[in-house]
Every structure is written in C-alpha cells, then in structure tokens.
A and B are shown apart, each in its own frame.
Chain A
Amino acid sequence: MSSTLADLAPLAQTEIRDRSGDADCVAENGTFCFGWAADNFDRYVEPTLEHLVLVGVSVIAGFLIAFGLALLSHRRRWLIPPFITATGILYTVPSIAFFILLLPFTGRGTVTGIIALTAYALQIIYRNMVTGLNNVPVEAKDAGRGMGMTDSQLFWRVELPLSVPEIVAGLRIATVSTVAIASLAFLAGAGGLGTEIFNQIDFKTNVLIAGGLCVVMAIALDFALLLLQRLAAPWRTGRVST
C-alpha cells in the first residue's frame, strides 16, 4: 500500500500560480478573481473534456451492464436480490478506497477511473430498471400475453417502452452523481476536473471555476437526459410525471 501512496505524491502542488493579470486579487486570494479567470480559462478546457469522457463512458458502460443484468433477471426473478446485493456492495465501497484498490490491477490511468465509476453507476441504473419493469401495469402485461405476445415480444414492445421513464430517471441520478465522483478520479490518475481542484485547492478562484464546471456539466447532462425522457415517453406529456 505504501507504493500506492507514493503514487499519489506527485499530485501535490506541481504548478506555480501564474500571477499575471489580476495580481492583487490573486495575491490576496480574493473570493473570485475575474481577471485571472479570464486569462486562465483555457487551462480548464482539457480537464473538462477528460471529465466528460470519464462520465460518458462510465454511465454508458454502466447502462449496458445493468441492461444485461436486467435482461437476465427479468424472467428469472430469483436473480434480482443477488444482483442488487452485488451492485450494492460495489456502490458502498468508498470511492477513494476503490480507486486505490484497483491500482495494483489496472494501474494508474483512465481505465481505472472508468472501472470504478462504472461500478458506482451500475447499482443506480440497475435498480431503476428493475423498478421500471416492476411498475409496468399488470393489466397491460395480461392483455399483451392474452393477445398472443411471446415473452420477448412482450418485453420489447410493452415492458421495456413502459419502463423508459424510470430507466432514464436512473440514468439522470447516475450521471449527476458520476459527475461528482469523477472529480476524485485524479487519484487513480484518470485526470478530469478534480486534478485542477486539488492542484491549487487553496486558491479560491481555481476551486470555484473547476467546481463550477462540474456543477454546470451535471446540470447540462441532467437536462439533456430530461429531454430524452420526454421524447422517449410522449404518452406521458400532459400528465403528471415524476
């Protein structure tokens, strides 16, 4: 474990603050130095893109794995409790511990970050899939089966489309929390906005910009998924939706 701690050491303050522009404000470490922000904003572009990739890849991977699990457990309902427990255990491991535990196996880098983030997203997405499929009205299933749909026709034509609102709701929660957790992914050497935050954690302007970008990203992705939810469930328009 000592070697992994040593791996973390290089993350300590490596950059010297650029004092150009808003020198006074930066010297006093004011609440938000606009001049400095304007001059240095481009340094956040790369980490933001890294962050976005971490979140996007992790949520999509989590979705695909959760969907596979949901397919498996849909007609074999006894599989649901073990799947919930297994994904729940992954979810409860503290994120910092998770990144560090993975280092001996996958080394430092984006892959390690994505594996850990995917494991977190998995539980939320899978749970919502199960809830969504469970909430499909019994009478719709009864009618579908009674009219001669096979199990797979019933799944693809009735159960899955009717679960879309809950599934997307799960994706929204998973996405927002992944944006937050991804800011720790720098511990696994995966970059992202966390790198910037921790590089100059005592410089308020920096923390506000990097942290603010996380918030904006979370809100934007959430809104995009909300739109997707509306588009994928047109029958809900005009009704009270949760």
Chain B
Amino acid sequence: MIATSLGPGEGGIARSRIAEVEAAAQPPASVSYRDVTKRYAGQSEPAIRHLSLDVPAGEICVLVGPSGCGKTTAMRMANRTVEITEGDILIGETSVRDRDPAELRREMGYVIQQIGLFPHRTVADNIATVPRLIGWDRDRITARVRELLDLIGLDPSMGGRYPSQLSGGQQQRVGVARALAADPPVMLMDEPFGAIDPIARERLQNEFLRLQAEIHKTVLFVTHDIDEAIKMGDRIAILKQGGVLAQYATPAELLMAPADAFVEDFVGADRALKRLALMRVRDIDLWEAPLAFVGQDTAEVRAKLDGAEVPHALVIDSDRRPLGWLSETDLAQPTVPQRPDSGPEPILDLDDVMRDALSDLLQTETQYAPATDRDGRIAGVLSVEIISEFLVSPEAKVEEHAAAERPLADE
C-alpha cells in the first residue's frame, strides 16, 4: 500500500509530496551518545552506565535488552524527557543539553507503545500536532496531513475520525504519521509495535521498513524482542541489567559473534537460523551446475558432469531460463530433450530470503534448486549443502571483521 502510494504519477498527491519534501525535508542527523550515565534520584545504582554509541545518519539503531536494562531510559535521554546525569548526547553536531527541551522535541519524531493519540482530537488534528506547535500555516498543514494519510494508507476521510473509531493497527499508523508530520531528522520509537497482534505487527514492521527506505530517518528504536531487533535494526545495541552496553553491532555480527555469554543467551540458541532470515540468496556463494541446451549432444553434457560442483545437468532454454534437470534416462538419449524427466522446481529468486529458500528446498525434498535473476535467467544453484556449510562456518562466508573477534575454535 505504501509502496504504491509513494510511486510517481499519482497526479496531485505525488506533486504535492514532492513540493512538500522540497520545502520541509531535513537531512537525517547522526546521534551520538558520549559516555552517558543516568542516575535516578534516590537510587544507589545508575540506570545507564557510561553508554557510548554512534548512530550514523539515516540508520535504524535498535536498543534491545531484558526489562529493567534501561533501554527506554537510554532512548528518552535523547529528547530530554529523561535528563542526562553525566555525559552528553549529540544530534548532528549539537549537544541536546544546549537545546530548549520543547524545541528539541519538536525536531524528533516520538512514537510510544501505548500510541498516545489524543482521544479528543481527530486523526487529522493529531497528525497536525507538531506542525501547529511550530507555527505552520493552515494550508501547509492541511496538505501535509493529506499526504501523510496517503503515506500510511488511510483514506483521507479517516482524517475526521476520532482515534477510538480506528483499529489498533490504524491507530499505530496514525501515531507514526504524527511523528513524521514535521519531517524530523530523528525518530524515537519506544516499542512502537509492542501492543499489536503478531500478524498486524509483522505488516506494520514491513510497512515501516519500506517507508524508511524512502525517508531515511535516523531512528532510535526500543524493543525487548530480539527478533524484532534483528529485523528492524541496521545496528543493534544490546543492554544488560544495570544499563551496561553488552554489544553494539550489525545484526549479522551479533548473530555470528556474540560478545559474551549474555548476548549469546539473549540472542537465543537458534541464532544460526536467525541469520538465515537476514540473508538473501544473492548474499551466498552459489554453485554452478553443468548447463545443457535443448538439442545439445548428450555426450558433451556427460563430459561436463565430470568433477562438477553439482552432479546433475540443468537444461536451460535460449533465454537461459531453467527447464529442468537431466536424469540418467535423459542422458542415455542422443540429444538433450525439450522436457527433461525432472522439472526445475523450486526455482529461487536471488532476492529470496535464505530462510524461505531453505524452506522451499526442504518442502520439495530436493537437494538443489536453480536461482534466477530478475529476468528469470539462471544465476547459480543453491543446495542444502551450501546452507549447512554456511551455518557451520559463517566466518568463511560472511563479513570479515566480526569473524576475527570470534575464532573458529569457539564454534
């Protein structure tokens, strides 16, 4: 829904969107925590200890950890809804401590788990909250509200409804739209999808990721759900009890090389499988199968089979699209047949998520599956063996620096 509404050629909406973006777009800003400590009055132990992390502009940083680890506190210090005890947080080059809290907050989108829509205001008025606070004129606000309703896939007529008349998922979308209203360079999201049923949550997560690909905000995202963290985060900061940063890394690094037993435990025993969810077929070294063309002499094909990575020949058409695998019976004939004994299914796409690809392989009980590019042309062959090899020795296949931190012997 979002993807189509963002597309060009939607007449007035598309044009007003471009105009608006030109007028209001603020480049995303980096966020850096500099040795931040938070001590609440009357508590002997700090809630956050010497937290330092840099979130590059335009990335989603997920703060994750068990309850009581201080992740929400850490996020809230960025807009000073919780005051910093020691240390500093920079938005771009500016310290949040040098800013007036109210003004600072108007430049940071704010989404909370309970959504917090104003029940006495219509959807449109809710979305218009920050633009009104910063004094946009009425026409600009009206245009922006319409554009945001479109962006979140709500009919413009919904703007006149009260929040209580919306479903939970719609309310959450309005919450996100309200946070985006003044096009803030930074977004703070505290368990934004936490109170929503799993199916709707999945959809909202995907929608937000699609949206983020368009708007490139710097996002601080709090969750207690490691799977959500892995899915949403460009980077993940895992906090443990007492507000100590256990590890700050990309999801892949985190899964491959947990910094300590706590992270390993928090990430879960199935982290190998989780890694498959992070990868696409194109991210792995595919094998090459001996290729055969319809009408080719089978003797030539048999020659190619000697010592090939894949011990079966794949028949392709003139556009290099897979037609099927040659059986012994096929090879006994003089030329390669148009219709080989076994079909090419499943055919994978290079953009398929690895977890789904593995699932396809297991479901069809096949050892090998051709992977094709966008035009359906053969790009390589994926096998269960490649996947299992990858799971056993990730260091050999993916990202180098994380592997260095965790020697092979540990696996």
- Could you mark each residue 156-180 of chain A with 1 if its beta carbon is under 8 Å from any beta carbon of chain B, else 0? 0010011000000000000000000
A40 at the interface (CB under 8 A from B): no
Partner of A143, one of B107, B112, B120: B112
Contact A147 to B119, CB < 8 A, known contacts A139-B114, A235-B162, A235-B164:
no
Find out whether the CB atom of B102 lies under 8 angstroms from the CB atom of A137: no
Residue A142 interfacial (CB < 8 Å)? yes
Q: Given that A139-B115, A153-B133 are contacting pairs, would A145 and B105 also be in contact in the complex, using a CB cutoff of 8 Å?
A: yes
Contact with B along A120-153 (1 / 0, CB 8 A): 0000000000000000011110111111111001
Over the window 22-60 of chain A, the binary record of Cβ atoms lying under 8 Å from chain B Cβ atoms (1 yes, 0 no) is 000000000000000000000000000000000000000
Expressed in whole angstroms, the minimum distance between the Cβ of B208 and any Cβ of chain A is 18
A148:B120 contact, CB within 8 angstroms: no
- Residue numbers in B under 8 Å from A162 (CB-CB): 118-120
Q: Are A146 and B105 in contact (CB under 8 A)?
A: yes
Is B238 engaged at the interface, CB distance under 8 Å to the other chain? no
Instruction: From A139, A143, A233, A238, name the one whose CB has the most chain B CB atoms within 10 angstroms.
Output: A143
Q: Is B129 engaged at the interface, CB distance under 8 Å to the other chain?
A: yes
CB of B79 within 8 A of chain A?
yes
| B117 and A148 contacting across the interface, CB-CB below 8 Å | no
What residues on B are CB-neighbors of A17 within 8 Å? none
In the assembled complex, the CB of B165 is this many whole angstroms from the nearest CB of chain A, namely 8
Other-chain residue from A143, A145, A153, A239 in contact with B118 (beta carbon distance below 8 A): A143
Q: How far is the CB of A165 from chain B (nearest CB, A)?
A: 10
Measured in the bound complex, the distance between the Cα atoms of B266 and A71 in whole Å is: 48
Least Cβ distance of B334 to chain A in Å? 75
Q: How distant is the Cα of A144 from the Cα of B126 in the complex, in angstroms?
A: 10
Q: Could you give, for residues 283-316 of chain B, a 1 whenever the CB lies within 8 Å of some chain A CB and a 0 otherwise?
A: 0000000000000000000000000000000000
| Majority secondary structure, A binding face | helix
Choose one: A139, A145, A150, A235; the contact of B120 (CB below 8 Å): A235
Q: Which residues of B contact A238 (CB under 8 A)?
A: 165
* Interchain CB contact under 8 A, B105 and A140: no
Once the chains bind, are A158 and B118 in contact (CB under 8 Å)?
yes
Q: Bound complex: CA of A38 vs CA of B268, how far in Å?
A: 88
A24 to B355, CA, bound (A): 100
A137→B119 contact, CB < 8 A = yes
Residue of B nearest to A163 (CB): B120
Q: Contacts A145-B81, A147-B130, A148-B130 given: A140-B104 contact, CB under 8 Å?
A: no
Return chain B residues, CB-CB under 8 Å to A140: 116-119
Kindly state whether residue B103 has any CB partner on chain A within 8 Å.
yes
Bound CA span A235–B163, Å: 9
B112 touches A147 (CB 8 A): no
- B382: CB under 8 A from chain A? no
Closest residue of chain A to B79, judged by CB? A146
Whether, in the assembled complex, B106 has its beta carbon less than 8 Å from a beta carbon of chain A, the answer is yes
B110 contacts chain A at the CB level, 8 A cutoff = yes
Interface pair A146/B188, CB less than 8 Å apart: yes
Residue of A143, A150, A235 near B110 (CB, 8 A) is: A143
Q: Which chain A residue shows the least CB distance to B179?
A: A147
- Residues of chain A in range 226-242 having any CB-CB distance to chain B below 8 Å: 233-235, 238-239
Known contacts A143-B110, A153-B133, A235-B164; is-contact A148 B116 (Cβ 8 Å): no
Min CB–CB distance A21 → chain B (angstroms):
55
Residues of B within 8 A of A147 (CB): 105-106, 110, 129-130, 133, 178-179
Instruction: Tell me if B120 and A137 are in contact (CB < 8 A).
Output: no
**A141 nearest in chain B by CB position:** B116
Contact A149 B133 (CB under 8 A): yes
Known: A146-B110, A148-B133. A139 touches B116 (CB 8 A): yes
B80-108 interface code vs A (CB 8 A; 1 in, 0 out): 01000000000000000000011111110
Q: How far is the CA of A239 from the CA of B165 in the complex (A)?
A: 10
Interface string of B109-136 (1 = CB under 8 A from A): 0101011111111000000011001000
For A153, what are the chain B residues with a Cβ–Cβ distance below 8 Å?
133
Output the residue of A137, A234, A235 with the most chain B CB within 10 A. A235
Instruction: Write out the residue numbers on chain A whose beta carbons fall within 8 Å of the beta carbon of B178.
Output: 147
B151-177 CB contacts (< 8 Å) to partner A: 162, 164-165, 175
CB contacts (< 8 Å) of A137 on chain B: these are 114, 116, 119
Distance (whole angstroms) from the CB of B283 to the closest CB of chain A: 38
Shortest Cβ distance from residue A75 to the other chain B in the assembled complex, whole angstroms: 15
Chain A residue nearest to B81 in the complex (CB): A146
Query: Separation in Å of the A159 CB from the closest CB of chain B?
Result: 10
Known contacts A139-B112, A143-B112, A235-B162: A149-B102 contact under CB 8 Å: yes
When distances are taken between beta carbons in the complex, the residues of chain A under 8 Å from B102 are: 148-150
Distance of A149 Cα from B133 Cα, bound (Å): 7
Residues of A within 8 A of B179 (CB): 147
Residue of B nearest to A151 (CB): B102
Instruction: Output the least CB separation between B179 and chain A (Å).
Output: 8
CA distance A118 to B106 in the complex (A): 43
Nearest chain A CB to B48 CB, angstrom units: 18
- Complex contacts, B188 vs chain A, CB 8 Å: 146
A218 to chain B, nearest CB (A): 29
Whether the pair A146, B120 counts as a contact (CB closer than 8 A) is: no
Q: Does A142 lie within 8 Å of B116, measured CB to CB?
A: yes
Chain A to chain B: the 4 pairs with minimum beta-carbon distance, closest first:
A143-B116, A148-B106, A148-B105, A139-B114
Supply 8 further A-B pairs (C-beta < 8 A) apart from A144-B129, A145-B105, A148-B133. Answer: A140-B117, A143-B112, A144-B116, A147-B110, A147-B129, A148-B101, A148-B104, A235-B120
20 contacts across the A-B interface (CB closer than 8 A) = A137-B114, A137-B116, A142-B114, A143-B115, A143-B175, A146-B79, A147-B105, A147-B106, A147-B130, A147-B133, A148-B104, A148-B105, A148-B107, A148-B130, A148-B133, A149-B102, A162-B120, A235-B119, A235-B121, A235-B164
A residues apposed to B, CB below 8 Å: 137-140, 142-150, 153, 158, 161-162, 233-235, 238-239
Which residues on B are within 8 Å of A, measured CB to CB? 79, 81, 101-107, 110, 112, 114-121, 129-130, 133, 162, 164-165, 175, 178-179, 188
